[in-house]
Structure 1
Amino acid sequence: MRKALILSFLSGALSFALAQASQVASLVDGGRFQEAYEAGMRLGTPEALALAAKAASFYALYQAKDEEKRAWFEKAERAASQAIAKAPDYPEGYFERARALGRLAQYKGVLEALAEGLAPRIRSDLERTLKLKPDHAGAMVALALWHFELVQKGWLVAATQGADGGRVEPLMRRAIELEPDGIIHRVEYARVLSAWGKREEARKQLEMALSLPARTASDRYDQERARQELAKLK
């Protein structure tokens, strides 16, 4: 009887935590990123902490003033690290930390980022994500961009970090195959194609991104970015 009561209590607690995490996810999808971050941090489960990290990164990307961005990416990194500490086998914790560290690397600049060893940390987190969840399309896109960004910095940087430009497009294509409705995947792929002089292919990806249904606030922000990039190609 006592064991049954304990199991019932644990089941109820788990269901309650999952319901609350779902509420945090709804806040993220609705573009209420600061609220989502605070709610996720208060809840403190691995799922909620990863969502808090996602919300912090999205706030920095889409809504924060320039002077706020770095601090919010740092908040995202800390929240994701807490998620990993609580659940070492939870892929979203590693993915969100990689996202935050990748953006921080951009703000810190190449020399500072390399001196702090951010590049191998980002790659390690993305590879860990894919080991835990091999069909994680977001991690594939992020890993493709990791290779792309380092190759763009020159052969010396690419060689010292183990970046390979030949991995970029296969990873991008596989991510789109897994999630054909992923607007951000197509926008990022278009950025790569444009940088490599494949303007017509980039245009097709951006047009496809604009034709897809925008289900979340981040989708709408990404479609606005697609419009701006498409205008540059015309």
Structure 2
Amino acid sequence: MKRWTTLFVATAMALSLAQAPQVAALVDAGRFQEAYEAGLRLATPEALALAAKGASFHAMYLAKPEEKRAWFERAEKAASQAIAKAPDYAEGYFERARALGRLAQYKGILEALAEGLAPRIRSDLEKTLKLDPNHAGAMVALALWHFELVQKGWLVAATQGADGAKVEPLMKKAIELEPDGIIHRVEYAKVLAAWNKKEEARKQLETALSLPAKTAADRYDQERARQELARLK
């Protein structure tokens, strides 16, 4: 009996590992809601992080404005479940930070600060980088964390420990690690445009549009790049 139990557990684990890439494929194909549901059903740490990613992407790219907050909340919950199952899994922390960061935007600065979202986001991003020092996505997100809080004024920045001097080094390091990352260049361009470095922003957007779009999210981000480029002209 023990032998059969061990065999069953091993088979179940193998099936879970085999199915997680299928959830990732759904995300890449732009079937974000399906990826979310499939990841919840599979319920491994990797699948739950992918479920969170699918929920966040659905909110960012497809959901109606009134639906976005609920989808980011679903993403945060799925990522928290991934962390509970695997406390040393970097993607769980990154996906939770992504969801909380977007939630903070929808809740507004006062509600977000009252709920303590800013330090939670920073903590998750720093944990991601501790577990995976070359996580380019976390670098971009942490750069945006500093940037957005500094943009709110010196008092908010000071109370949260945000530092505008950290923004550009983090952005540049992320692009160095992942030069084909379309989203990195679009987010960097947003920062550069806000700093009135329009020519540098334009170059980042043009590069983003020249890169191959490998996933549905890449295509959505290239559309963002087109829109941002049109606003700069």
SS at match of 2:51: helix
Residue 53 of structure 2 corresponds to 54
2:226 is matched with: 227
**Matching of residues 33-182 of structure 1 within 5 Å:** 33-182=32-181
SS at match of 1:163: coil
Q: Structure 1: how far apart are the matches of 2:126 and 2:57?
A: 22
Shift in Å, 1:150 = 0.1
Q: Corresponding residue for 2:13?
A: 14
Task: Give, in angstroms, the shift of residue 4 of structure 1.
Answer: 7.6
Aligned equivalents of 1:57, 1:110: Cα separation in 2: 20
2: distance between equivalents of 1:69 and 1:28?
Answer: 17
> TM-score, normalised on structure 1?
0.97
Distance in 2 between the 1:7 and 1:124 partners?
A: 38
Distance 1:167 1:28 in 2: 31
Measured after TM superposition, the shift of residue 18 of structure 1 is 1.3
Structure 1 position 3, deviation (Å): 8.2
Give distance in 2, aligned partners of 1:70 and 1:23.
26
CA distance in 2 between partners of 1:224 and 1:215 (Å)? 14
Amino acid at match of 1:77: E
C-alpha displacement of 1:10:
4.4
Provide the rounded CA distance (Å) in 1 between the counterparts of 2:91 and 2:15.
20
Structure 2 letter corresponding to 1:102: G
- 2:75 is matched by which residue type in structure 1? A
Report the secondary structure of 2:73's partner residue: helix
What is the count of residue pairs matched by the alignment?
A: 233
State the shift of 1:79 in Å: 0.3
Instruction: Quote the Cα distance in structure 2 between the aligned partners of 1:94 and 1:156.
Output: 27
2:201 corresponding residue in structure 1: 202
Quote the RMSD (CA, aligned, Å).
Answer: 1.3
Instruction: Return the TM-score normalized by structure 2.
Output: 0.97
Give the drift of 1:12.
3.2
Paired with 2:9 and 2:212, the residues of 1 have a C-alpha distance of 39
Identity of aligned residues (%): 82
Report deviation, 1:15: 2.3
CA distance in 1 between partners of 2:104 and 2:84 (Å): 22
Structure 2: runs of 5 or more not aligned: none
